[in-house]
């Protein structure tokens, strides 16, 4: 008897299931913190669906808890989520024939984890298609949203110290930074950003100092990397003569 193929939604469900389960504890914690920050169930649902990113939601809670301005919060979330431009561009090779309406719908529900699932599936499974990819996004979003809502409900009956907001966000970003730390330039840029953030917060006494520190440190890192690449190109240039007059060849 021929093996019956799974329906697209079921195949996508199995692909997204580990991801959905992993969202539950983090989503519960995020939901409780959102409740302590003043978010009701409706606002929690809207934030979880419109800003489908755990890191961004923790950041929003942290910014609200320190009474940051609306503009500062938006800018911080924008810079944090800029990585999705790179993730989306790497998936674009699979969506060349898709309409912009579908790409917009898919992009709105994409995050780091379901991106990884879909990229792997597109790269290894010739039968993976747009419908399955979109289902993966939606299943993961549903799991995250449901978890934050349940966490929001628990937060109204369970006492949670609001100081945990700062600890959770700090721990998360330290982990994210260490996972990307693969060369000295990133370490220098990260330390510079942290140092400038402390200085600007003491001088300006406004969360805009965090944005300014991020921009300056990133630009400094870019200049260092560009200078280093220029120096490497000069060292790898055409044959030249050393001070003794002997010809030097680059192998």
Give the residues across from 222 on adjacent strands.
Answer: none
Q: What percent of the chain has pLDDT over 70?
A: 83
- At 64, the pLDDT band (50, 70, 90 cuts) reads confident
Q: What percent of the chain has pLDDT over 90?
A: 28
Higher pLDDT, 247 or 189: 189
- List pLDDT tens digits, range 6-21: 798 899 999 999 989 9
Cα–Cα nearest to 148, from 20, 35, 27? 27
> Do the beta carbons of residue 137 and residue 106 sit within 8 Å?
yes
Per-residue pLDDT averaged across 81-108, rounded? 89
Q: What is the reported pLDDT for 251?
A: 45
Q: What is the reported pLDDT for 1?
A: 44
Q: What is the reported pLDDT for 245?
A: 47
Distances (CA, A) of 48 to 44, 79, 117: 6, 18, 20
Range of 126-135, 175-184, 214-223 with top mean pLDDT: 126-135
CA 47: distance to chain centroid? 16
Angle between the 41-50 and 8-36 helix axes, to the nearest 10 degrees?
130
H helical segments located in the chain: 8-36, 41-50, 54-65, 70-80, 83-91, 100-108, 112-124, 130-155, 163-180, 184-204, 208-235
Q: What is the reported pLDDT for 40?
A: 93
Cβ atoms within 10 Å, residue 217? 20
- List pLDDT tens digits, range 174-212: 766 776 677 788 888 888 888 988 898 888 776 677 778
CA distance 135 to 156: 32
Global pTM exceeds 0.85: no
Least confident range from 38-47, 86-95, 169-178: namely 169-178
Q: What is the reported pLDDT for 165?
A: 57
Residue with tokens 């993976």: 128
């Amino acid at each position: 008897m021929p093996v019956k193929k799974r329906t697209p939604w079921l195949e996508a469900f199995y692909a997204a299931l580990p991801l959905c389960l992993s969202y539950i504890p983090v989503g519960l914690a995020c939901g409780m913190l959102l409740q302590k920050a003043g978010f009701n169930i409706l606002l929690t649902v809207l934030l979880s669906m419109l800003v489908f990113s755990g890191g961004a939601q923790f950041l929003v809670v942290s910014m609200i808890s320190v009474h940051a301005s609306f503009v500062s919060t938006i800018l911080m979330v924008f810079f944090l989520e800029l990585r999705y431009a790179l993730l989306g561009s790497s998936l674009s090779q699979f969506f060349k024939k898709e309409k912009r309406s579908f790409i917009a719908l898919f992009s709105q529900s994409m995050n780091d984890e379901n991106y990884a699932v879909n990229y792997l599936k597109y790269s290894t499974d010739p039968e993976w298609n747009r419908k399955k990819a979109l289902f993966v996004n939606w299943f993961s979003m549903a799991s995250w949203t449901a978890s934050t809502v349940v966490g929001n409900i628990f937060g109204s009956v369970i006492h949670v110290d609001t100081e945990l907001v700062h600890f959770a966000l700090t721990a998360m970003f330290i982990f994210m930074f260490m996972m990307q730390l693969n060369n000295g330039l990133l370490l220098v840029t990260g330390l510079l950003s942290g140092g400038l953030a402390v200085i600007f917060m003491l001088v300006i006494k406004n969360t805009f100092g965090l944005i300014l520190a991020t921009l300056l440190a990133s630009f400094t890192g870019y200049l260092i990397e560009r200078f280093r690449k220029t120096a490497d190109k000069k060292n790898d240039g055409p044959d030249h003569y050393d001070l003794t007059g002997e010809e030097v060849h680059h192998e």
